[in-house]
């Protein structure tokens, strides 16, 4: 490793600065270097859209905005300050990244490089141009950073540890293949929202971001809502209607039509506002695109018991502050799920680790 921790922090902060300048400008920058970066970023975003039609320009820009805000010297140093990174013996850490939402695998790579290890990266074919872009931006002023990572399409070999993210099915393969190495293996998780009936319109509109950003394809996307018995959905549907333009996107529309037809043929009782289907669901927190499951609860004790029993299935629990205060004493000893405010699921901080597993701590145990 030919870079210091300060070098690496500065490199990623530079990437964040370039992204911020790109997002804030009209791409007619006076500085020729900034203009060249704008061209590179534009070309990469266009290619990402072409390779994965779920990656709309709006969703791509949202993902870049979140990372541009996170990648500052202050945020990176504050995040890393509690850890002891002075004497790390570099190891090769394989990363098998998911591709469900833009840059979903970048946090793992960032952790590996910042701790002084080497990242051997296998991207998903659904998201294989954005991560190289960010690393290219980071390496611009610190070329030695390029010695901290590589990308491969081949079978992973000669690694010391692995971080792999996939479905429950692929996780079984990962556990079989990588089980003898130090590892973090992530499976399917979903996020839920708890409603009381007292939410404001603004809170429910914020919840629509948790539901619809990235078309609900992320593990932090709300796919199920818990409601009081005899809950009136009128206010909920009114707030969700703010996102009605989604029905104009052909892939979303096709999923809406298909899932509605399947539900109707199965004679499920549905609630529907012509772009979102709500179906009572007590067996799973997962839901298809353009639909949400819901189930009812009677007391807060019921909620605590259910969330505790299904903690390994949950990434986030969205609720107002009053509900969070009720749940927090019972959930604080658990690594996951994370309690989140309305509208904040797709804005995790650097220390908001997937599944509640501290990636930095894991990487430091390798030395």
Q: 191-233, pLDDT tens digit by residue?
A: 999 999 999 999 999 999 999 999 999 999 999 999 999 999 9
Residue 19 falls inside a structural domain: yes
Give the three-class secondary structure for 163.
strand
Q: What is the CATH number of the domain that holds 163?
A: 3.40.605.10
List, in sequence order, every residue forming a beta bridge with 162; answer none if it has no partner: 94, 183
Answer yes or no: do 36 and 179 share one domain: yes
Exposed / middle / buried, residue 53 (Cβ in 10 Å: 0-12, 13-18, 19+):
exposed
State the Cα–Cα distance between residues 339 and 352, nearest whole angstrom.
Answer: 11
Bridge-based pairing of strands 277-280 and 270-272 is antiparallel
Q: How much is the pLDDT for 250?
A: 96
State the Cα–Cα distance between residues 292 and 192, nearest whole angstrom.
Answer: 10
Residue 259 falls inside a structural domain: yes
Residue 364 falls inside a structural domain: no
Residue 38 falls inside a structural domain: yes
- Predicted confidence (pLDDT) per residue in 17-57, tens digit: 999 999 997 654 445 455 889 999 999 999 999 999 999 99
Entry pTM: 0.94
Segments forming the whole domain that contains residue 97: 5-188
Q: Tell me if 50 sits within 8 A of 329, measured CB to CB.
A: no
Answer yes or no: do 194 and 181 share one domain: no
CA torsion through residues 322, 327, 331, 335, sign: negative
State the Cα–Cα distance between residues 66 and 132, nearest whole angstrom.
Answer: 17
Answer yes or no: do 13 and 66 share one domain: yes
Q: What is the CATH number of the domain that holds 208?
A: 3.40.309.10
Answer yes or no: do 38 and 157 share one domain: yes
Answer yes or no: do 196 and 151 share one domain: no
Q: Tell me if 197 sits within 8 A of 266, measured CB to CB.
A: no
Domains identified in the chain, total number: 2
Answer yes or no: do 90 and 198 share one domain: no
- Predicted confidence (pLDDT) per residue in 153-168, tens digit: 988 889 999 999 988 8
Residue 114 falls inside a structural domain: yes
Residue pLDDT tens, the chain, 367 long:
578 999 999 999 999 999 999 999 765 444 545 588 999 999 999 999 999 999 999 999 999 999 999 999 999 999 999 999 988 999 999 999 999 999 999 999 999 999 999 999 999 999 999 999 999 999 999 999 999 999 999 888 899 999 999 888 888 888 888 888 999 999 999 999 999 999 999 999 999 999 999 999 999 999 999 999 999 999 999 999 999 999 999 999 999 999 999 999 988 889 999 999 999 999 999 999 999 999 999 999 999 999 999 999 999 999 999 999 999 998 888 888 999 999 999 999 999 999 999 999 999 999 8
Answer yes or no: do 129 and 225 share one domain: no
Answer yes or no: do 165 and 37 share one domain: yes
Residue 356 falls inside a structural domain: no
| Site of tokens 């692929």 | 170
Answer yes or no: do 84 and 171 share one domain: yes
Answer yes or no: do 206 and 133 share one domain: no
Compute, in degrees rounded to 10, the torsion defined by CA atoms 275, 203, 352, 299: -100
**Cα–Cα nearest to 161, from 94, 106, 89, 87:** 94
Answer yes or no: do 171 and 248 share one domain: no
Residue 40 falls inside a structural domain: yes
Residue finishing a domain among 188, 223, 253: 188
Answer yes or no: do 23 and 119 share one domain: yes
């Amino acid at each position: 490793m030919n870079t210091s921790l300060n070098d690496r922090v500065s490199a990623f902060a530079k990437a964040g600065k370039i992204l911020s300048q790109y997002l804030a400008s009209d791409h007619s920058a006076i500085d020729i270097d900034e203009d060249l970066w704008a061209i590179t970023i534009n070309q990469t975003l266009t290619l990402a859209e072409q390779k994965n039609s779920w990656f709309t320009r709006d969703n791509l820009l949202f993902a870049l905005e979140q990372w541009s805000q996170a990648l500052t010297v202050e945020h990176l140093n504050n995040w890393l300050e509690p850890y002891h990174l002075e004497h790390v013996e570099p190891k090769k850490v394989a990363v098998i990244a998911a591709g469900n939402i833009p840059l979903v695998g970048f946090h793992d790579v960032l952790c590996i490089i910042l701790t002084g290890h080497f990242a051997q990266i296998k991207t998903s074919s659904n998201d294989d141009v954005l991560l190289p872009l960010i690393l290219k931006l980071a390496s611009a002023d610190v070329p030695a950073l390029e010695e901290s990572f590589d990308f491969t399409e081949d079978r992973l070999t000669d690694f010391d540890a692995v971080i792999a993210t996939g479905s429950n099915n692929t996780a079984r393969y990962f556990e079989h293949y990588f089980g003898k190495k130090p590892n973090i293996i992530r499976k399917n998780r979903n996020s839920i929202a708890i409603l009381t009936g007292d939410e404001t319109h603004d809170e429910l509109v914020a919840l629509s971001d948790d539901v619809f950003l990235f078309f609900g394809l992320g593990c932090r996307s709300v796919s199920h809502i818990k409601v009081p018995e005899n809950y009136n959905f009128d206010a909920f549907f009114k707030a969700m209607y703010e996102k009605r333009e989604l029905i104009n996107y052909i892939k979303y529309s096709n999923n809406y039509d298909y899932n509605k037809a399947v539900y109707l043929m199965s004679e499920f009782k549905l609630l529907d506002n012509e772009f979102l289907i709500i179906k009572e669901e007590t067996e799973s927190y997962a839901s298809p695109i353009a639909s949400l499951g819901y189930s009812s609860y009677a007391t807060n004790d019921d909620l605590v018991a259910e969330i505790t029993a299904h903690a390994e299935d949950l990434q986030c629990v969205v609720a107002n502050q009053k509900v969070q205060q009720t749940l927090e004493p019972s959930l604080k000893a658990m690594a996951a799920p994370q309690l989140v405010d309305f509208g904040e699921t797709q804005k995790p901080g650097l220390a908001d680790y997937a599944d509640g597993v501290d990636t930095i701590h894991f990487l430091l145990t390798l030395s």
